[in-house]
Structure formats: C-alpha cells, structure tokens
Amino acid sequence: MSIDGLGRFFYKEINNFIYKINSSKIKKIVWLGAFPPLHSNMGDHAQTLSVEQYFNNAFPDYHVIALNRNQISIPRLRKISSTLSSDDLVFIHSSGDFGSKYYDVEKSYCKLRKEIINVFDKNRIINLPTTVFYENNESGMRILEQDKQFYRNKNVTILGRESVSADFLAGHFECNSLFFPDFVFYLKPTLIQKPRKGALLLLRNDHESGLRIEKREELIHIAQKYTSVVHDNDILKSSIPVVDFIRKKYIESICNIYQNYEFVITDRMHGMIIAVITRTPCIAINGGIPHKISAYQSFLSESVEFINEIEEIDAAVKRIRSRPYKETDLSSYFDNFRKKVLENWVTSA
C-alpha cells in the first residue's frame, strides 16, 4: 500500500468511530480539537501526547471524551453536551490561531472555538495554552472587537502560553485568563548520556518561518565554523499518518535525535521546547508571529539564545557553546493545574 493509500486508510478508520461515553464513570472531561492523524506537524503531536498523558496522570477519576479537529461537528457536540453534568469539564486544545492571522483559514479554530463555548455554556471551559495575535490593521482590529464582545463574561479560562499572549488577554478580554506554559514542557523524555556532535537546523518552510530562503545557506556556513556536522532537517514535519498507537514512539525518536547534537537552531516554537526538555542548547529565531517564540525569553533565557536576525547567529553560537547548560523547571505549573481548574481558576498562577 502506498503512503497516500495508507494515509486514506488511517483517515477513514480514525473517523469511523467518533467517541465513547462511559457511564460507569460519573465525572467527565471533554477534550476537543487535538490535531488529526494526517496532520504533519510533530510539535502539535507532541502537544497532543503531553495533554493525553497529563489527563491520565492528574485526572484518573475522570472519563475523557476526545474528539480531534476532523471529528467535531455541532450535532456531535450537542449530543455530548446533553450527557454532561454541570461539574464536568471541557478543554479546548492548544493552538497558535487565537486572533486574526488565521481567522479565515480553512479549519482554523477561531470560529469553531466560539461554537464550542456556545454549546457547552453550562460547563467550565478551559482553553489550553495558546498563542494570541491580532494584526495591527483594520481587519485585525475589527476581529478583536468582535472577540472582545463574544468572550465577555463567558465561563471560560483562556491560557496564554507566553507572557505577551497572557498580558494581551488580561488587558483586552473580560473573561478569566492567565499565563500557563505550553504542555510539551510536561513531557519527560528519557535522557541519554552519550557524546553529542554537530548542529541540527530545524527550520520552517512556510509563512511563519523566521528566515528568508536565501539566508538558510548563510546559516549553514556559520554553523560549520563551529562543527563539521550540520544537518538541515526539519524533523518536526512528518509525511506519514501519526495515529495514536505510534505517536508516543515517534515523539520519543525525535527526542532521541535531539540528544545526538551539541546544539539546535530552530524557528519552530515546539522545536525550541523539545530542545529544552531534552537539555539541548538551542538558538531560537523569531518568526512570523512576532512573540510566538520571543516572549519565552522571560523564563527560558538560561537555556535558549533568542535572536531576530541571521547576523546575530555567530555571537549566539559562541555564547551557547561557552556556558554550562542550565535546566528550566516548570513542573510547579503542572503540579498545581488540577487544583486550579477545580477551583475555577479565579486567580493567577
């Protein structure tokens, strides 16, 4: 069977069976909007894996009803809603499309997120950590005003996954909001003690890229000044379906690959975060959404070098190779997450 045929098979099988409602467990979590198997971004799959593991570990007394983005329809949501009690919890999956940049993109969550909130209006809703960005133009400001009206006094907590998003929500939206780190920080990959050699270049090839095409070769030449092994390979892009039963192994293999290298250079947010959880020195290049990466500087400055331009790469490599690696510990956020959720998270973390 070809890769395309395999993809169509998995797509069909995953969508045939939508969800289970297990009445033997009284308390329920509805988890909506993880990316589907054919989604190619492995950073998003790492996020799905981390949320799944967190629910298993922190909410073992809850039954989780999960629908990925391709499985959601309003009739299905209404059917699930009819089975819930007011104490059941609804989680909207993390994304980078809260705001105006992706508002009219097909399968963007900007509009569906509002449908979810309307359907589950009797339940506590938590929007897992997201990037918030409204463009500073007429369209962006119009969408912002619409969203401010919609979210006013809604029973929803929106988590900004870095300080800029969190501060923007707090300053513009009349609903509960605060900072909470991306859930990929929750993953605990096996750390392997082995010699590291070379540099991994993990760079986007889309409109969120932090580098123009002509700058990529220049970046390779700079990295080669410090190591003879330079791999330009975006290992966070997959060409095969990543269904549930292989997701964990796939993410583990990526974490193992990271640990082969002395340092990684990336303009992917999750490329940076996986570097942190694998204790791999990292140079992070700011990209198409201005604060998606740069805002992490406030709490990752000891383990990541943040740059805006290719001209800063040389000095950043020198700095990151000259100092011992310092681990970033965000475990306290996850340790307190369940308690905060059940208290309806009325104060900041």
Query: Which pLDDT tens digit goes with each residue over 221-260?
Result: 889 999 988 999 999 988 888 888 889 999 999 999 999 9
**Within 10 A of 180 (CB to CB), how many other CB atoms are there?**
27
pLDDT of residue 345: 66
pLDDT of residue 25: 55
**Kind plus residue range of the DSSP H or E element containing 127:** strand 124-130
- CA-CA distance, 142 to 147, in Å (whole number)? 9
Q: Which residue spans of the chain are classified as CATH 3.40.50.2000?
A: 199-322
Helices (H), the chain: 3-16, 42-58, 74-83, 109-119, 138-151, 163-172, 213-224, 244-258, 269-277, 291-294, 297-300, 313-322, 331-335, 337-342
Mind spelling out the 3-state secondary structure of 293-323? HHCCHHHHCCCEEEECCHHHHHHHHHHHHHC
For residue 100, what are the contacts with CB-CB under 8 A and spacing of at least 6? Answer: 110, 133, 134, 135, 139, 140, 143, 144
Per the CB < 8 A criterion, the answer to whether 284 and 305 are in contact is yes
pLDDT of residue 148: 96
pTM for the model stands at 0.88
**Direct distance between the N- and C-terminal alpha carbons of the chain, in angstroms, rounded to an integer:** 50
The CATH homologous superfamily for domain 199-322 is: Glycogen Phosphorylase B; (3.40.50.2000)
Amino acid residing at 231: H
Nearest CA to 30 out of 52, 4, 74, 63 is that of: 63
Nearest CA to 181 out of 165, 193, 203 is that of: 165
The overall average pLDDT reported for the chain is 87
Residue range 3-181+331-342, CATH number: 3.40.50
Please write the tens of the pLDDT for every residue from 62-117. 999 999 989 999 999 999 999 999 999 999 999 888 999 888 876 678 888 999 99
Amino acid residing at 321: R
pLDDT of residue 20: 53
- CA-CA distance, 336 to 344, in Å (whole number)? 13
**Within 10 A of 106 (CB to CB), how many other CB atoms are there?**
5
Residue 41 is classified by DSSP as B
Nearest CA to 148 out of 212, 99, 192, 108 is that of: 99
Please write the tens of the pLDDT for every residue from 114-169. 999 999 999 999 999 999 999 999 999 999 999 999 999 899 999 999 999 999 99
Lowest mean pLDDT among 124-133, 281-290, 309-318: 281-290
Amino acid residing at 195: P
